[in-house]
Amino acid sequence: MTLMPAAPLSNARFGTPHQVEVLIAAEPVVQREMDEHLARRKLWFPNDLMPADATLDVSDDATLANIRSNAKGIPDSVRVAVALNLLTEEGLPHFHRLIATHMSNESVWRAWNNVWTAEEDRHGCAMRDYVRDARLFNMGELEKLQYEYIAAGFDPDWEQDPYRLMAYTSLQEKATQISHANTGRMAGQHEPVLQKVLAHLAGDESRHYQFYRATFAEILRVDPNRALVALLKVTLGFAMPGHNIAGFSEMSEVLDRTGIFGTRQYLKIVEELLEYWDIGGMSGLNHEGEKAQERLMKVPGRLARVADYADSKKKACEYQFKFLDGRTVALDA
């Protein structure tokens, strides 16, 4: 049996031939942004936050008991946010695969994906260490949700467009940062260790956001028309990672009603990125690019109307979650 020679890796990249050329040309910018990211980060590990060394003495048992005592005061609405944030972080295998397939598994993109994955992997570990030690959930039920989410896969309809992945990660990293930070602030009123854990995660997400925002800025500069179309499609259809988790809609409603993350927070992200990329000031576009630009500039107003309408229709409701041992979370109108 004669084996055919393997095709060059670059032929396996997603995107049109022109997009592949743009991505290859952008690699020096990606390398620069990765180098800057590594220079400004302060590497931490889950054990720094929730120590579990064999040498720990009895005084550390008292610390753990104090965490569990304080954690009893964390409201169930905030616990739902912690659960959803943790489940989202545990979806890391999906995103490593998406980056590898859309941006290629070669050159600097491979190096970045490995660094990013290593940093993100600590997030789920740190949160899991905390919720397990604090006895925050029915862990068996939470683990079932995690398993089902990983087994279900995550395949957004990006039509093998690498630009959409970069636009999505710019939006998603900022959204995750906000969700972690707001959850931490609310939890910290009762249990400061959880706020410390979530603050470390939010700091990472902020740095990842800066990376993706800068790399997509380069794509906008080199291939503005296609990039604007991709950005429009992602912005209009944005959904937080994990939207196929069982009970995601109910959990998201809790986060929205408690002010942790919802349409109004997403609106601010869109406004921030439109300003950073100077979408409204871009010129020299073709007809398709101009149409995408015009529609993008109207997105904040559209999101504000959606949020206002949703607020006007809110009614008191209740949700039950198995990972809270079936307790009811009541939401006011």
Q: What pLDDT digit, counting tens, does each position of 273-331 carry? A: 999 999 999 999 999 999 999 999 999 999 999 999 999 999 999 999 999 999 999 99
Sequence-separated (6 or more) residues with CB below 8 Å from residue 146: 86, 87, 90
The gap from C-alpha 82 to its chain's centroid, in whole angstroms, comes to 14
- Residue pointed to by tokens 């009893």: 72
* Count of H-run helices and E-run strands, the chain: 14, 2
Domain boundaries, the chain: 15-47+62-331
The CATH topology of domain 15-47+62-331 is Ribonucleotide Reductase, subunit A (1.10.620)
Check whether 58 has a pLDDT greater than 80. no
Percent of the chain with pLDDT over 70: 96
Q: E strand or H helix at 331, and its extent?
A: strand 328-331
Averaged over 167-178, what is the pLDDT? 97
Query: Which two tokens mark 71?
Result: 């954690």
* Alpha helical stretches, state H, 135-223: 139-152, 162-188, 192-222
Taking the C-alpha atoms of residue 98 and residue 88, their distance in angstroms, rounded to an integer, is 15
- The answer to whether residues 306 and 263 touch, using CB atoms and an 8 Å cutoff, is yes
Beta bridge partners of 331: 317
Distant-in-sequence contacts of 301-310, Cβ < 8 A, 24+ apart: 303/263, 303/266, 303/267, 303/270, 304/267, 306/263, 307/262, 307/263, 307/264, 307/267, 310/263
Query: Which comes out higher in pLDDT, residue 63 or 269?
Result: 269
Predicted confidence (pLDDT) per residue in 90-102, tens digit: 999 999 999 999 9
- Compute the Cα dihedral for 41, 154, 259, 312 and give only its sign: positive
Check whether 57 has a pLDDT greater than 80. no
* Alpha-carbon distances, residue 326 vs 47, 118, 249, 294, 320 (angstroms): 31, 35, 17, 47, 5
